[in-house]
């Protein structure tokens, strides 16, 4: 290697630009060297305005409700933050998929969401759908500046694999004010092969001005902001024009495959990231890997598994006080500020729970919402009541735990979008 | 949305005020009946679903 030692390189007389190398060349900055910027650096594409990923649990690491196979028609059932919806004449299940070494080598992710078609529907009805959705809280999306002329471009990227090749769709559904949808096609080219998709979402896609007008606003609150929808099978009522915003529910195009047509069909998804800005596969910023604890905490804003017999046969639920013969108020401090007043999940089992008080015990059947109100700022603690207790004595202190092995989730709190 | 519900009833707090809706679902494959106690807060998605269920012509049973 030859070496040139100079203190300054300037353009030739009359010029203002200097080019280093040619297209395709690699310019190497040696380890330990530093590039400093005392002017303006442009077109370095790693700038990211959001400190944390916009998509929560995009790496499919957190599964508070369980990692096993679950079939549902429309609910949050396994992986956190992704809602599974199906109302076709068929059925599909989801579960956690652990990546093989080869898959990990390719994608860089340890887990994926796996969907398996378990019951077929060869002809999807006009109003039927099968889809996977992440709903994003509105106040986390203010940086998009939707509803203004400065509305930002977005880039959705993800790893996907399916036994069924063809045209699939993702959709962005903007909630609040007027609801606007945009379906965008992508192609799964090779069966059973991980492929990374990078999809640009312009606020003016289809030469529209819906998002840049006032109706495109996303309210600065804790309600629905954007829905990111991964279509599996979509009826014709919800077919729109590719890459065009519309004021209607349109989550796919007519080219979307019918993934529900064979029980041999599977669909794997991981590494979901939504970036502010327009990126290509070569300029896309790296996936923001959080610690498991940070990822879990963000998921817990929407769902918090508090006590589970799968983890402990008699899980502690909380402390409290007995109000009268049938009522005890049990308080639980939540690990994070949850989105809204929470729903309480428990199990209706005769004597499935037990209260310890004044040297004795009283059994009860399930938990209900107790006294207490919360502000719109969110929910930081929960007051619960018990159902099915008798013959207690008011004024006593108490603590309670689950009393039913094998029941699974004994106490959980939900504030999902 | 509540097709698998066994009962949908109001819940009263110890002051006798309605403060939630308790949904008890039919037993799951393991034989356990899941319960969802839903606060009457319109920001809560489950309560939004209850309101839609009522708008569809259904009625919440009174508390025991």
Per-residue pLDDT of A380-415, as tens digits, reads 889 999 999 999 999 999 999 998 877 888 999 999
pLDDT at A35: 73
CB A372 within 8 A of CB A392: no
Give the distance from residue A125's alpha carbon to the nearest chain B alpha carbon, in angstroms.
19
Q: Is the pLDDT of residue A215 over 60?
A: yes
**CB within 8 Å of A30: residues ≥ 6 apart:** none
What are phi and psi for residue B46, nearest 5 degrees?
A: -65, -40
The confidence score (pLDDT) of residue A290 equals 97
A327 interfacial to chain B (CB closer than 8 Å): yes
Q: Is the pLDDT of residue A353 over 90?
A: yes
Q: How far apart are the first and last CA of chain A?
A: 60
Q: Edge-to-edge, what's the strand order for the sheet holding A409-414? A: A303-308, A409-414, A343-348, B33-39, B18-25, B5-12
Identify all chain A residues contacting B37, using CB atoms and an 8 Å cutoff.
343-344, 346, 366-369, 384
Instruction: In whole angstroms, give the CA distance from residue A198 to residue A280.
Output: 7
| pLDDT tops 90 at residue A22 | no
pTM of structure? 0.90
Q: Provide the mean pLDDT of chain A.
A: 93
Query: Between chains, do A222 and B14 touch, taking CB under 8 Å as contact?
Result: no
Report the residue of chain B nearest A343, measured CA to CA: B38
Q: What is the DSSP string of A251-265?
A: -B-TT---GGG-TT-
Torsion of CA A186, A190, A196, A200, to 10 degrees: -20
DSSP A289-340: PPPHHHHHHHHHTTEEEEEETTT-SS-EEEEEEE-SSS-EEEEEEEEEEESS
Do A407 and B14 count as a contact with CB atoms less than 8 A apart?
Answer: no
Q: Does B1 touch chain A (CB under 8 A)?
A: yes
What does the pLDDT read at residue A380? 86
CA A175 to chain centre: 16
The whole-number pLDDT of residue A374 equals: 57
**pLDDT tens per residue across span A231-264:** 999 999 999 999 999 999 999 999 999 999 999 9
**Do residues A65 and A76 lie in contact, with contact meaning Cβ atoms separated by under 8 Å?**
yes
Please report the pLDDT score of residue A25 as a whole number.
85
> What is the rounded CA–CA span in Å between residue A74 and residue A286?
32
Beta strands A360-364 and A353-357: pairing type? antiparallel
Ramachandran class of A249: left when φ > 0, alpha when ψ lies in -120 to 50, beta otherwise: beta
Residue among A323, A327, A347 whose CB faces B33 most closely? A347
| Partner residue opposite B32 with nearest CB, options A324, A344, A408 | A408
Closest CA to A259 of A337, A165, A192: A165
Please name the member of A74, A341, A384 whose beta carbon is closest to the beta carbon of B44: A341
Query: How much of chain A exceeds pLDDT 90, in percent?
Result: 79
pLDDT at A107: 98
Distance from CA of B48 to the nearest CA of A (A): 10
Token pair 């060297």 in the structure block, residue: A33
- pLDDT tens, position by position, B15-48: 889 999 999 999 988 888 999 999 999 999 999 9
Predicted pLDDT of residue A176: 86
- Count Cβ–Cβ pairs < 8 Å, chain A vs chain B: 87
Nearest to A341 among B1, B11, B39 (CB): B39
Give which of A272, A224, A299 is closest to A65, Cα–Cα: A299
Q: Least CB-CB distance to B43: which of A222, A344, A366?
A: A222
Pair of tokens at residue A384: 């619960």
Q: What is the mean pLDDT of residues A101-124?
A: 98
The reply to whether residue B22 touches residue A370, judged by beta carbons under 8 angstroms, is no
């Amino acid at each position: 290697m030859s070496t040139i030692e100079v203190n300054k390189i300037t353009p030739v007389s009359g010029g203002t630009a200097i080019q280093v190398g040619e297209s395709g060349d690699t310019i190497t900055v040696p380890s330990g060297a530093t590039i400093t910027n005392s002017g303006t650096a442009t077109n370095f594409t790693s700038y990211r305005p959001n400190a944390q990923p916009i998509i929560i649990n995009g790496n499919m690491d957190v599964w508070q409700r369980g990692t096993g196979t679950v079939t549902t028609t429309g609910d949050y059932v396994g992986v956190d933050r992704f809602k599974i919806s199906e109302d076709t004449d068929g059925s599909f299940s989801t579960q956690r998929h652990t990546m093989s070494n080869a898959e990990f080598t390719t994608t860089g992710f340890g887990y994926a969401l796996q969907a398996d078609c378990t019951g077929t529907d060869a002809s999807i009805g006009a109003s039927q759908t099968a889809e996977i959705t992440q709903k994003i809280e509105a106040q986390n999306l203010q940086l998009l500046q939707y509803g203004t002329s400065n509305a930002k471009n977005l880039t959705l990227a993800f790893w996907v694999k399916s036994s069924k090749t063809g045209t699939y769709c993702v959709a962005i559904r903007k909630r609040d004010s007027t609801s606007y949808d945009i379906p965008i096609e992508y192609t799964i080219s090779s069966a059973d092969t991980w492929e990374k998709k990078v999809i640009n979402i312009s606020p003016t896609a289809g030469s529209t001005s819906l998002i840049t007008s006032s109706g495109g606003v996303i309210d600065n609150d804790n309600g629905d902001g954007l829905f990111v929808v991964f279509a599996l099978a979509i009826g014709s009522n919800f077919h729109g024009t590719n890459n065009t915003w519309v004021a209607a529910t349109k989550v796919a195009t007519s080219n979307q495959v019918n993934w529900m047509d064979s029980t041999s069909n599977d669909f794997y998804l991981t590494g979901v990231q939504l970036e502010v800005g327009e990126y290509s596969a070569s300029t896309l910023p790296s996936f923001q890997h959080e610690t498991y604890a940070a990822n879990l905490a963000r998921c817990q804003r929407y769902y918090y598994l508090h006590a589970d017999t799968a983890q402990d046969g008699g899980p502690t639920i909380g402390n409290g006080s007995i109000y009268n013969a049938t009522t005890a108020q049990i308080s639980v401090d939540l690990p994070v500020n949850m989105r809204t007043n929470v729903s309480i999940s428990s199990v209706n089992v005769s004597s499935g729970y037990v209260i310890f008080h004044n040297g004795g015990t009283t059994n009860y059947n399930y938990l209900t919402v107790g006294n207490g109100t919360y502000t719109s700022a969110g929910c930081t603690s929960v007051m619960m009541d018990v159902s099915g207790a008798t013959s207690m004595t008011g004024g006593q202190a108490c603590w309670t735990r689950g009393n039913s092995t094998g029941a699974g989730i004994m106490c959980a709190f939900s504030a999902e979008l | 949305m509540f097709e698998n519900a066994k009962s949908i009833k109001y819940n009263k707090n110890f002051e006798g005020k309605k403060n939630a809706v308790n949904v008890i679902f039919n037993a799951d494959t393991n034989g356990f009946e899941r319960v969802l106690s839903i606060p009457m807060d319109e920001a809560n998605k489950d309560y939004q679903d209850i309101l839609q269920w009522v708008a569809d012509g259904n009625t919440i049973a009174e508390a025991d």
